[in-house]
Amino acid sequence: MPNAFNFSASPFDCLSADEQALVRASVDIAYYPEGAVVLDVGDAPQHLFVVIKGFVTQADGDEVLATYGPEDTFDGRALVSGRASSRFVVTEELVAYQLARTTVKELIARNTAFGALLFSDLGHKLSTLAQRAEQHEAQSLMLARVDQAFLRPAHVVDAGTDIVSVVRLFQQQRTTSVLVSGLPGGREGLGIFSNTTLQRAILDGRPLAQITVGELASHPLITVRASDQLGDAMALLLRVRVHRLAVLGDDGRVLGILEALDLFSFLANQSHLITVHIEQARDLDGLADAAAQVTRLIAALHHSGTRVALMAQLVQQLNARLFERAWQMIAPPALLANSCLFVMGSEGRGEQLLKTDQDNGLVLRDGYAPPPGLQALCDRFSDTLTRFGYPECPGGIMVRNAAWRGTQAQWGERIRAWLHEPGGEQLMQLAIFLDAHAVAGDPQLLAPLRRQALDGGSNDALVARFALAIDAFGNPGGWWNRLLGLHDDAPINLKKAGIFPIVHGVRSLALAQRIAATSTAERLAALTEAGVLDAQIGQELLQSLHFLMQLRLQAGLAELQTQRAVTGQVDPTRLRSLERDLLKDALSVVKRFKVVLHQRLRLDAA
């Protein structure tokens, strides 16, 4: 019997051969009929239970906290604390391994990973999982330190040095940039002069020997720390659109220059090539080729172990540039200068991974007369995004829909209508608009409209009605039961079960506090800083969101690989035991957050 113990299930999959032998020598089998109480509140447990067959429900009073099925383990926390704080009842006749308390304590003492996975909270479990996967993740070069890549020597010249002397230095040192000290005009710190800036010097018209490098040096210097991850350095390069970064040591001194080509050669992935493809595209066909590469990049990053938050950040930046270039190719210059194209939803929050429905809108400057063919231009843009792989929004939240474009004054009237007549449709539109993020044109046209929505939407009654949508997808007991197979084997919609309640709950609290940030991570940070949320629950919510996004991405990539439509659903029976364990923890965090929201925003009275 002990030889049949499954050591591939969490938390036993981290045990050494000697530790596995200890388990085999100490484990026994127990049987409990349906309705039996395995542990009650206040009991001092003597065993750790590992389910072989059947189901056990953990309850606090009338509330079901969790349900455990085959290969699940309970109750590690009670075993360590010495007292059960919940009631564990058999809901389907149970056959389980019993591992003696003394053996469990010895395993915890000998193996810290086992202890963390057994009874820690979600954050510690995810951290421990990351540590256990260290060898695999080391292969993910996105996680390497900046100073592991090739750094070019940093040559520093005085701002009074003439351009000809700098070019000689370029040739002698085989470099393409110099750092510049003593900048004129009261500019503090170093600047940078590169071969790209040299073109401006040549076009200046004066003899190069009469132009000082300080006149044309770029400032401020864009920097990263040597200890930063290369993935973050890549995201910075894409965001600020520069070709090199100065690398600083712990003491703030410049250690060297990280060039974009060196970075991307080290990472050996396609993100830089996609960016270059987008920039160099001459027409929409060229952009379509670049758009097709984004999903392949995400699959490669996922398989290499890149963290979800960084992948989402890269996708947001690539998509923003893709949409901007497409709009520039479609819209005439006057329309570009007098409008702001913006995206919303997961794209606006920077939380999109695989391509989802279009959510975008257009603000026109008051007093500007748009071209007669504006509808045709907007239709062409929406059709172009569909061609790029972004499906049309079923609700019509796209620039081709006149309801999602208009002048500043027209948008102001819409926002007032959302705030003063807050029915279900209006609140939905308000929620979508609060995530708006400018991608092309003049972003200053959008900023005051978002502020109007935040200022007008922060009254208690509206926020309560706004936040009620967290309960829009029914009784959470349904997905708890589906998760453990008590009712049927239907897959879980991760967006409905966990992602949306987190995102919208945080968005609701941010609205109440007039927090302008659009991403859930930034909103959580601001809410924690303001004391609205406890730091621990803020961290748990962010970890849960990222874990659910990761599971959703994993399932979506599997669907794409088999040429099925991406549904956003996950089949619990296909998850590893540790993934099911973490999913339970994440959904438990969602349940607790809903309770906090109901109490904090008085949703039951709304």
Query: Is the model more confident about 243 or about 577?
Result: 243
Tell whether 150 is covered by a domain: yes
Give how far the C-alpha of residue 15 lies from the chain's centroid of Cα atoms, to the nearest Å.
Answer: 32
579 shares a domain with 566: yes
392 shares a domain with 444: yes
Mean pLDDT comparison of 102-111, 142-151, 304-313, highest-scoring range: 102-111
pLDDT tier for residue 7 given thresholds of 50, 70 and 90: confident
Tell whether 548 is covered by a domain: yes
564 shares a domain with 481: yes
413 shares a domain with 278: yes
- Provide the phi-psi class of 185: left if phi over 0, else alpha when psi is between -120 and 50, else beta: left
Q: Tell me the C-alpha distance between 44 and 50, whole Å.
A: 17
285 shares a domain with 250: no
Return the CATH number at 565. Answer: 1.20.120
Report the pLDDT averaged over residues 187-205.
89
Average pLDDT over the chain, rounded to an integer? 86
383 shares a domain with 328: yes
Q: Which of 74, 100, 119 is the last residue of a domain?
A: 119
Per residue in 309-360, pLDDT (tens digit) is 888 888 888 899 999 999 999 999 999 999 999 999 999 999 989 888 899 9
Give how far the C-alpha of residue 143 lies from the chain's centroid of Cα atoms, to the nearest Å.
Answer: 16
- Answer yes or no: are the C-beta atoms of 344 and 359 closer than 8 Å: yes
Question: Could you tell me the sign of the dihedral formed by the alpha carbons of 579, 580, 582, 587, in that order?
Answer: positive
448 shares a domain with 476: no
Tell whether 307 is covered by a domain: yes
DSSP state of 503: H
Per residue in 211-257, pLDDT (tens digit) is 999 999 999 999 999 999 888 888 888 888 888 999 999 899 999 99
Q: Is the pLDDT of residue 137 over 50?
A: no
Whole-prediction pTM value?
A: 0.69
Instruction: Read off the amino acid at residue 166.
Output: V
| Cis peptide bond upstream of 75, omega within 30 | yes
Read off the tokens for 479.
């997905």
Tell whether 210 is covered by a domain: yes
Tell whether 166 is covered by a domain: yes
Return the CATH number at 198. Answer: 3.10.580.10
- Provide the phi-psi class of 31: left if phi over 0, else alpha when psi is between -120 and 50, else beta: beta
Pairing between β-strand 177-181 and β-strand 191-194 as defined by DSSP bridges:
antiparallel
Tell whether 131 is covered by a domain: no
Q: Is the pLDDT of residue 130 over 70?
A: no
377 shares a domain with 517: no
339 shares a domain with 257: no
- Answer yes or no: are the C-beta atoms of 352 and 315 closer than 8 Å: yes
Q: Tell me the C-alpha distance between 332 and 26, whole Å.
A: 76
Report the pLDDT averaged over residues 557-576.
81
Task: Write out the residue range of the structural domain in which residue 401 sits.
Answer: 271-457
Q: Is the pLDDT of residue 66 over 80?
A: no
Please report the pLDDT score of residue 10 as a whole number: 75
Q: Which of 432, 457, 482 is the last residue of a domain?
A: 457
- Answer yes or no: are the C-beta atoms of 230 and 255 closer than 8 Å: no
pLDDT tier for residue 457 given thresholds of 50, 70 and 90: confident
| DSSP class per residue in 114-162 | HHHHHH--HHHHHHHHHHHTHHHHHT-GGGSBGGGS--B---EEETT-B
pLDDT tier for residue 125 given thresholds of 50, 70 and 90: low
Q: Cα 305–308–314 angle (5° rounding)?
A: 100
| Structural Rg of the chain based on CA atoms | 28
294 shares a domain with 258: no
The residue among 475, 329, 344 whose CA lies nearest residue 388 is 329
432 shares a domain with 285: yes
Residue ranges in 371-519 assigned as alpha helix (H): 374-387, 408-420, 424-433, 447-456, 460-467, 476-483, 494, 500-512
Counting residues of the chain whose pLDDT is more than 90, the rounded percentage is 46
Tell whether 139 is covered by a domain: no
CA atoms within 13 A on the CB side of 103: 20
304 shares a domain with 206: no
- Which has the minimum average pLDDT: 36-50, 152-166, 464-478? 464-478
The residues with which 178 forms a beta bridge, in sequence order, are: 193
Tell whether 141 is covered by a domain: no
Q: Is the pLDDT of residue 184 over 60?
A: yes
Q: Is the pLDDT of residue 299 over 90?
A: no
pLDDT tier for residue 423 given thresholds of 50, 70 and 90: confident
Distances (CA, A) of 506 to 227, 422, 594: 31, 19, 10
Task: Please name the residue that has the structure tokens 């979800």.
Answer: 308
Q: Tell me the C-alpha distance between 432 and 56, whole Å.
A: 40
Please return the burial class of 483, using the count of CB atoms within 10 Å of its CB with bins 0-12, 13-18 and 19+.
Answer: buried
Report the pLDDT averaged over residues 13-30.
88
Read off the tokens for 450.
């978002």
Counting residues of the chain whose pLDDT is more than 70, the rounded percentage is 89
- Which has the minimum average pLDDT: 65-79, 255-269, 291-305, 315-329? 255-269
Read off the tokens for 42.
């206040």
